[in-house]
Amino acid sequence: MTELSGKVAIVTGAGRGLGRSMAAALVRAGAAVTVAARTGAELDTFVAEATAAGGQALACPTDVTDEAAVEQMVRSTMETFGRVDILVNNSGIVASTPLLDQPAAEWDRVVSTNLRGTYLATRAAGRHLVAQGSGKVINVASNFALQGVANHAAYSASKAGVIAFTRSMAIEWARSGVQVNAIAPGYFATPLNAALREDAEATAKVVRAIPARRMGQPEELEPWLLLLAGSASDFMTGEVIVIDGGQSVR
């Protein structure tokens, strides 16, 4: 029920970290994958590796805050693969700034990337999903959306918005055969937090807040991604799967 041969997926924020890991998992499961991010060189490397392993992938440099660019991302996918079945909205940025010191431009950049980008990509791909009467939208939220985190108001608010958006679209598209769910990861060892992990004291502080006493590994998201991308989740929509080692339960 997680076999994806013949399916076509789009993964945003796929240049590195969790996005790249999820895109690779979809390719291994048999899907053709459009990988999107602002960094074209990383996407080209992914396509070369996927092709060498016998998979199908398309690089599509995209700024998810740009409406025209997002529409072109979906259009290129349709032109290359003829359809779209799965959308993974993973593009996101973090800002760690006390609210009283946070420039409005930084707030806008975080919210625009994390929330507007999810809206634009879902709308663009959703036209095709609804028209064909089937599809999966998987939004990447965060456990920060479920708890108070100092100095992360913009990030937490944007990811909470992603969860609310997920639930609204799940209801809106339920009768169209399209399931919309979210994954809310906690701390995972990715390039996004490489600087933090190089600081032993900072890493120890983070790990102490996680009941499992460790960060997650990107491959630990893969089973949940494939569940939501495959037919096993056909009667599941509007849900949020939290994968954070128990951090949000504290």
Catalytic residues: 155
Looking at the chain, list the stretches that DSSP marks H as alpha helix, in order from N- to C-terminal side.
17-28, 40-52, 67-81, 104-111, 117-132, 153-173, 194-197, 200-208, 222-229
Helix axes 153-173, 104-111, angle to 10 degrees: 30
Tell me how far apart the 2 most distant CA atoms of the chain are, in Å: 52
Q: Residue 59 phi/psi, 5° resolution? A: -90, 130
Closest CA to 11 of 34, 28, 32: 34
Q: For the stretch 191-215, what's the b/e string if a residue is b when 16 or more beta carbons lie within 10 angstroms of its beta carbon? A: ebbeeeeeeeeebeebeeebeeeeb
Closest CA to 33 of 24, 41, 42: 24
Q: State the sign of the Cα–Cα–Cα–Cα dihedral 212, 213, 214, 215.
A: positive
